[in-house]
Amino acid sequence: MLSKDPETLRWLIFLFSGAAALALLLLVHKLWPNLLRKPGFRAFDLVITAVVFLFIGMHATNLWHEREEVVVNSFHRLYHDTWWGPTVRNTYWFGTPLLKCPLDLWVYQEILHETKPDVIVETGTWQGGSAGFFASLFDLMGHGRVVTIDIKSFDPPERDRVTYLLGSSTSDEIIRQVKESVHDDKVMVVLDSDHSKEHVLNELRLYSEMVTVGCYLVVEDMHLNGNPVQFGDGDPAAAVKEFLASNSNFEPDRSREKFGVSWNRGGWLKRVR
């Protein structure tokens, strides 16, 4: 059986296409030996040559894109699979651990600078590292605050710009408190709590209406369920797919995946209306 490695398959397709184009040229030459030699058929010669180069060019491009995807996915998996090693569980914002990809943190910085929300509502506080990161950016901007929710307390550090709420992100009581807190502020939302499809879908329905037009609703950890990471049984991507099928107010902003690796592929949702 041939290799299932997509890169090897691409190479084989590329070689096969090149060989097929050459065979076609030889066949034309064999069937009509004088065709290519006749002065009147120079244009035909050119067409054939162009087709051959088109084939080669097309597959070389294809190959390049495929190679890029393979490299990005391999690095993504390597980074995530070394969870307990030098990467995920070894990432800190001023001493507080956080479960975010540093490339995504940079994207958050750019989004905050561009959209300037008054408040970020975050579900899934954990140890408070991501809330602290957002608060630090707000410090630099001189404006903004964070409301973060967790079902358990991990004793996150006290911070001026951060309000910690304890309870399930989808409970009536928490939704009431969040709505009361954000009032008519400019709101951005980050969903990073329980990553099961059902919970994320619930959160999407409850929190999407709070997001201000022009701001973002970020669904974290879209990379689970083989996208390209296999970890736990969460599936935020399935929730986003279902949510977007019935909500045209949000569009995935794929430009936010510009660094190649993003844990939120397809999850940088921008409120457009």
Ligand X SMILES: C[S@@+](CC[C@H](N)C(=O)[O-])C[C@H]1O[C@@H](n2cnc3c(N)ncnc32)[C@H](O)[C@@H]1O
103 near ligand X (CB under 6 A): no
| Nearer to ligand X (CB atom), residue 5 or residue 110 | 110
194 near ligand X (CB under 6 A): yes
Residue 80: CB atoms within 10 A of its CB come to 20
* 19-27, 72-80, 97-105, 262-270 -> range binding ligand X (CB under 6 A): 97-105
262 near ligand X (CB under 6 A): no
Number of residues that bind ligand X (CB under 6 A): 17
* Radius of gyration, CA atoms only, the chain: 26
Alpha helices in the chain (DSSP H): 6-31, 42-81, 102-115, 129-141, 172-182, 197-207, 236-245
Q: Tell me the three state secondary structure of residue 109.
A: helix
When binding is defined by CB under 6 A, the residue of 115, 136, 163, 168 that contacts ligand X is: 168
When binding is defined by CB under 6 A, the residue of 169, 212, 262, 264 that contacts ligand X is: 169
DSSP letter (8 states) at residue 188: E
When binding is defined by CB under 6 A, the residue of 88, 108, 123, 161 that contacts ligand X is: 123
| Nearer to ligand X (CB atom), residue 21 or residue 146 | 146
Q: Are strands 187-191 and 119-123 parallel, antiparallel or unpaired?
A: parallel
Nearest to 11 by CA among 49, 89, 52, 63: 63
d(CA 180, CA 232): 34
225 near ligand X (CB under 6 A): no
What is the smallest separation between the CB atom of 5 and ligand X, expressed in angstroms? Answer: 32
d(CA 162, CA 250): 27
What is the smallest separation between the CB atom of 105 and ligand X, expressed in angstroms? Answer: 9
Binding site for ligand X (CB under 6 A): 98-100, 123-124, 126, 129-130, 149-152, 168-169, 192-194
